[in-house]
Each structure stands twice: as C-alpha cells, then as structure tokens.
Structure 1
Amino acid sequence: MKHLIKSYLNFLWNSTNQHGVHSPFVFNLVTKCFYDKKQYPEYSIIKKYRNSLLENKKFIEVTDFGAGSRVFKSNKRQISKIANTAGISPKRAELLFRITNYFQPESVLEIGTSLGLATSALSLGNESAKITTLEGCPKTQEIAKFQLENSKFQNIKFVTTKFEEYLSIYNLQPTTYNLIYFDGNHSKKATLEYFELLLQTITNETVWIFDDIHWSKEMEEAWEIIKNHPKVTVTIDTFQWGIVFFRSEQVKENFIIRI
C-alpha cells in the first residue's frame, strides 16, 4: 500500500493533461478518446453485463497461477465478489471501450479473461473485430463464456490455457494483433516474457495496454524496460495503465497523462 501511495503521488507530480502534450497523435487521442464525455449507449450494455455478474451468488473453484504457470492457489469464491473486487472498474471499462472504438482494431488479444468484464468492453468497441481472450482458470473462463454468449456477444474466441504455454507454442509468426490488453499476470518476469513473445505480432498501428504498471516495484521496473525498448516509440502512463505504440513515424516520447 505504501508503494502505491508513493507511486501515485509521484504520478500526480509529473503528470499533465492535454495542454502539456505537443504530439498531434497523442493530443488527438487524449482529447477525442480519453476525455470524450459522450454517453455511449454501449456503456449501459457494459453496466448490464456487470450487474449480471454482481447478482450471481454462485461459488466456483478458482485457480490462480504464479510465475511459470505454477498453480499456487485454488479456492472457492463467489462470482459476485470476484466481479466486485477483481474485475476492471466501470470507469476503466468505459475507457477501454473508447480506446477500442477509437482505433477500431481488427484483431484483439486479451491476456486474462477473468469474468469477461474487460472482454465485453473490447467486444463492444468494435463488434466486427476478432477477439481472442486467454484465461488460465477453467471455471472462471466457463462462467465468462456462458455469461458473454448469453448476453449476445458474438465476436469472441475463448481459450483456456496457461499463458506462457499458449504464447510459446502457438504459431505467432503469421499473426498480427492490432490491440493487446495485458491483464493476466502482474509480475515483472511474466510481463516481460509476454512482451518479447508478442513483439512479432505488431504492426505500425498496434496498441498495447498493460494493466497495473505501478502495482509493485517490479512492475515499475518492467514498465521502464518496455518504455526503453528500441521498437517502442510512444508510451502513455495513466497510472493504472501503460499504453504502448510502435509507430515508426513518431518521435520517441513518454507521456504521463491524468485521466
């Protein structure tokens, strides 16, 4: 907790809004997407999906994985409590929808389905996109799949897998992802491993979103390594998320933006 407080105070001290941004690309993203105040009808669908989970009092066996996909915890948890504590917040879900809607990615990868709250935002952001979502816990994925399909989300491919195994074995070479949302393992080792494995899938227009970049000192170290990678040109730190771009026409810059 002390680490997060210290990191957040540092973030506030160094962050800016659109007035401190001199890159046209980032300025447009901030003003037309991040700070977009329009009340999209999709927000009510995301809220309805969340409520369907919050009303579900069923208990399921949840399996959590540590480094190297090692099982380190398995216990029974109530679906409503998972949705309330472990899922993406309503505000962040709306932002994820806006980012997806803004960039209109054709191919999306989500690492860490959980109960599908972020998945619903990604799906609604571009209903013609092909979305692949990975989850390590079979029971959690089963609930997400059932709830999303029952709510008429139709552009999602569900894969139950250990992330490292999937990304290592799956033939990524001919694959491109226009947007990747990393929310599966908040450790330095796993984050950097996923980063390296997925570099071969990038295009000039690819957007990567890393969740909880200030969660721990190790995650902040991982974020610094990602920012300094030669293929990365623009990064945006919103405190909870680190957003990465690979646009070759952009000057290498790192932004810290309040949202």
Structure 2
Amino acid sequence: MKPNQQDLNRHRMSTNYNAIAREYQASKMLPWRKHIESYTFFQVVGDLSNLHVLDLACGEGFYTRQIKLRGAAEVVGVDISDGMIQLAKEAEAQNPLGLVYHCQDALLLNLDQKFDLICATYLLNYAQTADELFRMGQVIANHLKPGGRFVTINSNPDYQAAVEAMFPYGFTRENADYSEGAEITWRFYQSDMSHIAVTNYHLAKSTHETALSQAGLSAIQWHAVEASPEGVAAHDEGYWNAIVSSQPIIGLSASKA
C-alpha cells in the first residue's frame, strides 16, 4: 500500500530536525539518556557480534556508532532529516567506522538488503495512524532476514504522569490526550533553561501489536526501562525512582519468522 499525499504532507509537518539538529544532538548527553534509555536498549539488543544492522531514524548516528563499536559487522543508518545525516557523516569523517548513511523516509525505504537486526529508536512514535504504523512495520519486516530481530525504544503509550514529573531529568512529556493520533510534546532543556520541542503521536499498545503483527512481525514484547548500575551508583539514592516508576519511554522487541 502506497502512502497518499495527505500522509506524506503530514509526515513532512512533523518535527523539523534540520532546524534543531545540533540541539537535539546535545540532548543525548543528558544522564537519563545513558543510564535509562541506552542501558535498556542494549540490554534488550544483547550480543551484537558480527551482526548486520539497520538503524532506522538514526538521527546524528548516536546509536549507529555505538552499535558498530559493540561488535556489529555492518551498520547502515537511515534518517529523514538531511541535517541529522550531515552530522552523522561529519562524525564518521572525524572517526571512520565504516558506517553508511542514507537520507530517506522510513515509510518509503527499500534498500534491497536484508539485516540480522533492525533498530528504530524513536521511529514508531511518529506514526499518527494504525496504517502508518503498519507501513513502518512492513518496511522493517521487508528488511529483516528470516529469524531477524527488531528492537526499539519509544514513547510509552501507557505513560500517565504529570507534565513536570520528568523535569528533574532535563525533559518534560505532555500528552494532548490519549486518543489515537493525539500529539505528544517532548521538551528537552539545557542548563540555561533554553529548550527544544519534539512532537510525537499516541497510539495504544494494542494498536502497535496489531499493526506490527499484520506487517509480518511476531513474538512482540514490551520491555520496561531500568536504570544502569553505574547510573544508580553515580546519583543519590532514589534519584531514578520517578522515571523508572512512571516509564515515559519503553522498549519493544519483535522478530521475523
């Protein structure tokens, strides 16, 4: 099924990462990104040795580089933002790892290549409808080898905490409401209180499970985020309690038969 023009226009109206590429890159340095997001992501991913990996919604290559450094044989990064891809290519030029990047829309992707693992950190939460989520799932399934895995971290559909609850970690998350396709606004703050805003969309867990199953993925599992032992040791007791108890983000894994 091909996306119609309304779908494409809506996709283009999502967050303009070209305008905030460097600011979003800086937000990856917030401690929760390392000790909650990244820690959980790699716990779910497991051993990367000699795997061929596709990193969808790769942004400036934050995870693309880490995946390669953790033993992957090949890593290809894809992002819709040419500003983000430019940053990724700059990092590759400064410290060559053999990474390949493509500036393409994940809804339309066809690399004519199959991978052992596909990662798509913060991709699925850009789908505004079950149909868009299904098409993302199709792209993922079409690029996986039989037995290949899909692993992602995304906005948690079940998150219910107050907007300001995550502010101590340097960000806030605000749901317009919990209807299908409702906007989720993330704001990432710097020490001077300047911030950038990113718009995602709410779709229920059941919508994810149905759409991904229909797209050809199976063994779908949700994974609660956890704090790393290193992060626990580096902060006061109870520092991570709010984020771990409220779960603003969540892991998801699936496989292709």
Q: Aligning the two structures, in what range does the TM-score lie when normalised by the shorter sequence?
A: 0.5 to 0.7
1:184 aligns with 2:129: no
Q: Counterparts of 1:201 and 1:81 in 2: how far apart (Å)? A: 27
1:122 Cα deviation from its structure 2 partner = 1.5
Q: Counterparts of 1:90 and 1:67 in 2: how far apart (Å)? A: 34
Residue in 2 aligned with 1:113? 58
1:139 aligns with 2:83: yes
Q: Counterparts of 1:166 and 1:103 in 2: how far apart (Å)? A: 23
Output one character per residue of 1:4-24: Cα deviation in whole Å (capped at 9) or x when no partner. Answer: xxxxxxxxxxxxxxxxxxxxx
Paired residues of 1:213 and 1:223 also in contact (CA < 8 A): no
User: In structure 2, do the counterparts of structure 1 residues 227 and 117 end up closer, same or farther at CA, with 3 Å as the change threshold?
Assistant: same
Give 3-state SS (helix, strand or coil) of 2:108's partner: helix
1:236 Cα deviation from its structure 2 partner = 2.2
Q: Considering only aligned residues, what root-mean-square deviation do their CA atoms show, in Å? A: 3.3
Percent sequence identity over aligned pairs: 8
Residue in 2 aligned with 1:122? 67
Residue in 2 aligned with 1:235? 220
Paired residues of 1:99 and 1:125 also in contact (CA < 8 A): no
1:194 Cα deviation from its structure 2 partner = 1.8
Letter of the 2:64 counterpart: T
Give 3-state SS (helix, strand or coil) of 2:203's partner: helix
Residue in 1 aligned with 2:135? 193
Residue in 2 aligned with 1:62? none
Which range is displaced more, 79-88 or 231-240? 79-88
1:237 Cα deviation from its structure 2 partner = 0.6
Structure 1 length-normalised TM: 0.55
Letter of the 2:109 counterpart: Y
Give 3-state SS (helix, strand or coil) of 2:115's partner: coil
1:185 Cα deviation from its structure 2 partner = 4.9
Q: Counterparts of 1:100 and 1:125 in 2: how far apart (Å)? A: 11
Q: Counterparts of 1:105 and 1:225 in 2: how far apart (Å)? A: 31
Paired residues of 2:54 and 2:115 also in contact (CA < 8 A): yes
Residue in 1 aligned with 2:106? 163
1:246 aligns with 2:256: yes
Q: Counterparts of 1:197 and 1:81 in 2: how far apart (Å)? A: 25
Paired residues of 1:177 and 1:201 also in contact (CA < 8 A): yes
- Mark the runs of 5 or more structure 2 residues left unpaired by the alignment: 1-5, 158-200, 225-249
Output one character per residue of 1:71-108: Cα deviation in whole Å (capped at 9) or x when no partner. Answer: 22547336245431699921332444455551535321
Q: Counterparts of 2:46 and 2:205 in 1: how far apart (Å)? A: 28
1:116 Cα deviation from its structure 2 partner = 1.6
Number of residues paired by the alignment?
175
1:119 Cα deviation from its structure 2 partner = 1.3
Q: Counterparts of 2:7 and 2:26 in 1: how far apart (Å)? A: 24
Letter of the 1:238 counterpart: H
1:163 Cα deviation from its structure 2 partner = 2.2
Give the helix-richer structure, 1 or 2. 1
1:201 Cα deviation from its structure 2 partner = 3.4
Letter of the 2:154 counterpart: D
Residue in 2 aligned with 1:63? none
Output one character per residue of 1:159-197: Cα deviation in whole Å (capped at 9) or x when no partner. Answer: 012222333xx4x3xx32110112335214433202123
Give 3-state SS (helix, strand or coil) of 1:197's partner: helix
Q: Which of the residues 148, 151, 154 maps onto 2:92?
A: 148
Give 3-state SS (helix, strand or coil) of 1:147's partner: helix
The structure with higher relative contact order (CA 8 Å, sep 6+) is: 2
Q: Which of the residues 184, 187, 202 maps onto 2:144?
A: 202
- Mark the runs of 5 or more structure 1 residues left unpaired by the alignment: 1-65, 248-259
Q: Which of the residues 12, 18, 29 maps onto 1:71?
A: 12
Q: Counterparts of 1:112 and 1:230 in 2: how far apart (Å)? A: 19
Output one character per residue of 1:130-169: Cα deviation in whole Å (capped at 9) or x when no partner. Answer: 21111111111101221233133x13110012222333xx
User: In structure 2, do the counterparts of structure 1 residues 94 and 176 end up closer, same or farther at CA, with 3 Å as the change threshold?
Assistant: same
Paired residues of 1:134 and 1:159 also in contact (CA < 8 A): yes
1:238 Cα deviation from its structure 2 partner = 1.1
Paired residues of 2:48 and 2:67 also in contact (CA < 8 A): no
